[in-house]
């Protein structure tokens, strides 16, 4: 975040972190219901084992113990049946399930988490790949740090964020050298975002057009001639 001139004295940027991801068909939710009755808790958390504990905490276990939103936008949960949750955030889904389960249970706690918060980090990063985020939100700098930071050849002025929308894929370019990125609507990432750090043109030119073969061939020939005349 560079200071371009002396008149740039801003040090605070407003960003209300209005994330509230709305679940869509195909999303997976981890739902846990805890009650005072052990049998009821086991009934509502059949895959988690007795007491609703998260026994298999690896990525595959989290996925297998989650509930998938149907193409029509419904969540099928024990005792409540199908509940329409499309375009609701996890807090709204938690409150909805709590109200419906209160018809049968007196004391309960409902926990809802989004399972499929995946980020794909590509391009000029030290550790590109797909990453799973186990928190409610993550910003661009945290994501880049998770991928081992940008390489020396990354074009920091033009980082691409590929985001899925209702109309299809959308590509947004952000400049990580400007401090006002802290106030950008794209400072905080969303599930399934793809961040692509493209290389600077200098790297493309250096590695694509420099005649390495000619230079190495010349060096090898010179060494052979020197060795020949020395002998």
Q: How many domains does the chain have?
A: 2
pLDDT at 26: 85
63-85 pLDDT per residue, tens: 777 899 999 999 998 888 899 99
Instruction: Compute the radius of gyration of the chain from its Cα atoms.
Output: 26
CATH code of the domain covering residue 68: 3.30.1950.10
Q: 186 vs 59, which has greater pLDDT?
A: 186
- The pLDDT mean for the chain works out to 81
The whole-number average pLDDT for the span 181-192 is 88
Q: Examine residue 171 and state whether it is found in any structural domain, yes or no.
A: yes
107 and 131 together in one domain: no
pLDDT at 160: 96
129 and 184 together in one domain: yes
Q: Which of 86, 114, 142 is the last residue of a domain?
A: 114
> Quick one: DSSP state of residue 219?
H
In this model, does residue 29 exceed pLDDT 80?
yes
Contact predicate 172/186, CB 8 Å: yes
d(CA 154, CA 156) in angstroms, rounded, equals 6
User: pLDDT-based confidence at 7, cuts 50/70/90?
Assistant: low
Domain with 87, as residue range(s), is: 28-114
Token pair recorded at residue 64: 């297998």
109-166 pLDDT per residue, tens: 999 988 878 899 999 999 999 998 887 788 999 999 999 999 999 999 999 999 987 7
pLDDT at 165: 78
105 and 147 together in one domain: no
């Amino acid at each position: 975040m560079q200071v371009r001139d002396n008149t740039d004295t801003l040090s605070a940027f407003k960003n209300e972190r209005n994330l509230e991801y709305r679940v869509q068909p195909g999303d997976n939710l981890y739902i846990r219901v805890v009650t005072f009755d052990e049998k009821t808790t086991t009934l509502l958390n059949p895959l988690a084992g007795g007491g609703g504990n998260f026994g298999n905490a690896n990525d595959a276990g989290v996925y297998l113990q989650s509930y998938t939103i149907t193409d029509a936008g419904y969540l099928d949960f024990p005792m409540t049946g199908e509940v329409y949750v499309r375009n609701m955030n996890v807090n709204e889904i938690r409150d909805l399930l709590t109200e419906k389960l209160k018809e049968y249970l007196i004391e309960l706690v409902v926990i809802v988490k989004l399972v499929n918060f995946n980020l794909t980090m590509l391009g000029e990063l030290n550790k590109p790949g797909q990453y799973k985020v186990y928190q409610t939100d993550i910003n661009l700098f945290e994501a880049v740090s998770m991928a081992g930071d940008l390489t020396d050849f990354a074009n920091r002025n033009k980082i691409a964020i590929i985001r899925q929308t209702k109309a299809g894929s959308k590509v947004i370019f952000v400049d990580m050298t400007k401090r006002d990125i802290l106030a950008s609507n794209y400072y905080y990432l969303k599930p399934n975002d793809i961040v692509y750090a493209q290389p600077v043109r200098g790297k493309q030119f250096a590695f694509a057009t420099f005649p390495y073969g000619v230079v190495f061939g010349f060096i090898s020939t010179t060494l052979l001639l020197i060795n020949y005349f020395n002998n």
